[in-house]
A and B are shown apart, each in its own frame.
Chain A
Amino acid sequence: MINSYDLNNEIQFLAKSEIRLKIISELEKNPKTVKELVNTTNITYSSISSNLVKLEERNHVTKKKNKYYLKPLSKIYYRNLMDFKMSVDLITSFDDFWGRHNIDQLTLDSIQNINDLKDSKLIKTTPLDIYKTHNTIKEKMIESKSLKAIFPYLHPEYPQLIENILKNNGHVEIILPRNMFSKMILEINEDIRKPATAKGNLKVYATSKELNLYLTLCDETMSLGLFKNDGSFDQNRLLISSSEKSQKWANNLFTSIKEKM
Chain B
Amino acid sequence: MTNLQTKNQLNEEYKNIKYILTSTMRSKLILAMYESPRNLEELRNDLSKPSATILHGLKELETENLVKKVQKKYQLTSNGFLLATNMIKLIENWSAINNNTDFWDNHDITCIPKELLKNMHLLKDANYITSTTSDLSNAFNKYIDLISNSKELKIIMPIYSENHFRHIIELLNNNKLKYIELVISEEILKAIKINGTFRKYLLENKKVKIICVKKNLKLFLTYSYDFMSLTLFFKDGHYDDSQMLIGKSSNNLKWATEVYSVYRG
State the A residues within 8 Å of B (CB).
1-3, 5-8, 10-12, 15-16, 18-19, 21-22, 41-44, 47, 71-73, 76-77, 79-81, 83-85, 87-89, 91-92, 95, 98-103, 108, 111-112, 114
Contacts and interface: CB of A to CB of B under 8 A. Distances in A.
A11 B90 contact: yes
B53 interface: no
A11 B91 CA distance: 8
B1 interface: yes
A11 B90 CA distance: 9
A44 B1 contact: yes
Contacts of B22: 12, 15-16
Interface of B: 1-3, 6, 10-11, 13-14, 16-18, 20-22, 24, 27-28, 31-32, 34-35, 46-47, 65, 77-79, 81-83, 85-95, 97-98, 101, 104-105, 108-110, 114, 117-120, 235
B114 A6 contact: no
Given A8-B91, A11-B94, A98-B78, 9 more contacts: A5-B31, A15-B14, A72-B109, A76-B109, A80-B120, A83-B90, A83-B118, A99-B77, A112-B85
Contacts of A98: 78-79, 82
Summarize A's interface: helix, strand, loop or mixed: helix
Contacts of B88: 5
Contacts of B21: 7, 11-12, 15
Contacts of B98: 8
A194 B120 CA distance: 47
B20 A42 contact: no
Contact of B104 (A42, A73, A81, A92): A73
A17 B261 CA distance: 38
Nearest to B6: A42
A12 B117 CA distance: 20
Contact of A79 (B89, B110, B117): B117
A1 B92 CA distance: 19
A100 B94 CA distance: 31
Contacts of B89: 84, 112
